[in-house]
Amino acid sequence: MAKSKRVRLLISGRVQGVYFRAYAQDEARGLGLRGWVRNLPDGRVEAVAQGDPAQLKAFEAWCRRGPSHARVQDVVVVEEDVEWTEPFPFEIRF
């Protein structure tokens, strides 16, 4: 079994008001990831995801596309140390 990894993604473009968070939650849960997603005041979406490296890559690829009404311009991915396991399935934060 691969070691769990954790990444923070900052997604920019037309990503708010297009159900990006809800679709991201569905995608992440389907991949078995833990973490969260939220809107940022500057118009970006931030997601923190933890899980198997292959599933994280699949989630990153999805974030680069987003749902059909989104127009993703950029995704910044930062690997983070896994200090604890996210306690909940992937959730939307407000």
Q: Which residues are catalytically annotated?
A: 21, 39
Run means of pLDDT, 10 residues per run, the chain, 94 residues: 86 98 98 96 97 97 97 97 79 94
- Architecture of the domain spanning 13-92: 2-Layer Sandwich (3.30)
H/E/C letters for each residue in 19-85?
A: CHHHHHHHHHHHCCCEEEEEECCCCCEEEEEEECHHHHHHHHHHHHHCCCCCEEEEEEEEEECCCCC
The answer to whether the pTM exceeds 0.85 is yes
